[in-house]
Amino acid sequence: QVQLVQSGAEVKKPGASVKVSCKASGYTFTSYGISWVRQAPGQGLEWMGWISAYNGNTNYAQKLQGRVTMTTDTSTSTAYMELRSLRSDDTAVYYCARDKGPKDYWGQGTLVTVSS
Amino acid sequence: EIVLTQSPGTLSLSPGERATLSCRASQSVSSSYLAWYQQKPGQAPRLLIYGASSRATGIPDRFSGSGSGTDFTLTISRLEPEDFAVYYCQQYGSSPPDTFGQGTKLEIK
């Protein structure tokens, strides 16, 4: 069965960086993309960007350009999302999702808290 | 960027009733690349509908999607207790970025 398992919760100080992992299983990793979506407390869903697990091509949300980097390791079927220069409004649950247009499988979410 | 506006913000209904949720796009969504997701508290979103009207794997047939262009609808024919949740529409057209609507909360009346 398809599973996406994310790394655990993180607490970071403003200005720091965070790297969240998403390990895929149950399907051919390179046949799909991975999107990252975040959700601030009590708020809606925000698409952050997408990476092709086939060739590493990326598309990022304009508001995060320059602060976010998405990568994959095909040897371990793992996707990564790094967000730099963290601010308090980056506090959110971060989700990875298998992307074939619609996002049909999601990770369990990783809470990232940014606080001094 | 395509902006999606969902209405109503909150919908109060009773089990057994019919729910109609709306999603309007600021410009035409190409090839009906419109999806609907359900999210319950503390859980990840769950794909319900893709391509505006196709049910995802394992989704009960009381959920249906319709629409094209700029106007889309999610209908739940007879509400079950487990259907009370927040629903999001999302467009995933040919050009990024993907965008989500702000959500409709379906609550028990």
pLDDT at res. B94: 60
Spatial contact of A82 and A68, defined as CB atoms under 8 Å apart:
yes
Please name the residue that has the structure tokens 């971060």. A94
Tens digit of pLDDT at every position of chain B (109 positions)? 889 999 999 999 999 999 999 999 999 897 789 999 999 999 999 999 999 999 999 999 999 999 999 999 999 999 999 999 999 999 997 666 899 999 999 999 9
Write out pLDDT tens, residues B45-59: 999 999 999 999 999
Query: Residue B9, CB half-sphere, CA atoms under 13 Å: how many?
Result: 2
pLDDT at res. B30: 79
Query: Closest Cα to residue A97, out of A59, A48, A42?
Result: A48
- Phi (first) and psi of residue B47, to 5 degrees: -70, 125
Put simply, the answer to whether A45 touches B44 (Cβ < 8 Å) is no
How far does B40 lie from chain A, in Å, by closest CA?
12
Spatial contact of B74 and B87, defined as CB atoms under 8 Å apart:
yes
The residue among B10, B98, B100, B104 with the most chain A CBs within 10 A of its CB, best to mutate, is B98
Tens digit of pLDDT at every position of chain A (116 positions)? 999 999 999 999 999 999 999 999 999 999 999 999 999 999 999 999 999 999 999 999 999 999 999 999 999 999 999 999 999 999 999 999 999 989 999 999 999 999 99
Tell me which DSSP letter residue B28 carries: P
pLDDT at res. B95: 64
pLDDT at res. A79: 98
pLDDT at res. B88: 98
Nearest-CB residue to A102 (from B35, B39, B97):
B35
> A45 touching B, CB under 8 A?
yes
Residue of A nearest to B47 (CA): A104
